[in-house]
């Protein structure tokens, strides 16, 4: 099995209004995890690839002609092997 190449990491920035709206939606106790992930997909374009929380980083891998793009939160970005 081949190793993934080293990714290019970029920060994701969101407007204060969008973050406030998402935080309010995610804090609702009546929403299921599925519904919360739906809000993240709809309003932020996806969720963290590991923990399904709000992503703050994009890792882009050049896989020899195609790009693999994954989103991560600050907590999970350290879990991927960048060396």
pLDDT in tens, 7-45: 899 999 989 998 898 889 889 999 998 998 888 888 888
What confidence score (pLDDT) does residue 82 get?
A: 60
pTM: 0.76
What confidence score (pLDDT) does residue 53 get?
A: 87
Q: Which of 83, 20, 77, 23 is nearest to 48 (CA)?
A: 77
The tokens of 25 are what? 């939606």
Q: What residue ranges do the domains of the chain occupy?
A: 8-77
**CA end-to-end distance (rounded Å), the chain:** 17
What confidence score (pLDDT) does residue 43 get?
A: 86
19 alpha carbon, distance to own chain's centre: 14
What confidence score (pLDDT) does residue 63 get?
A: 86
């Amino acid at each position: 099995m081949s190793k993934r190449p080293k990714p290019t990491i970029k920060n994701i920035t969101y407007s204060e209004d969008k973050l406030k709206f998402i935080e309010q939606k995610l804090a609702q106790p009546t929403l299921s995890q599925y519904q919360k992930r739906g809000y993240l997909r709809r309003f932020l374009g996806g969720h963290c690839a590991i923990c399904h929380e709000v992503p703050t980083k994009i890792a882009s891998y050049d896989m020899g002609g195609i790009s693999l793009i994954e989103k991560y939160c600050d907590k999970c970005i350290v879990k991927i092997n960048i060396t």
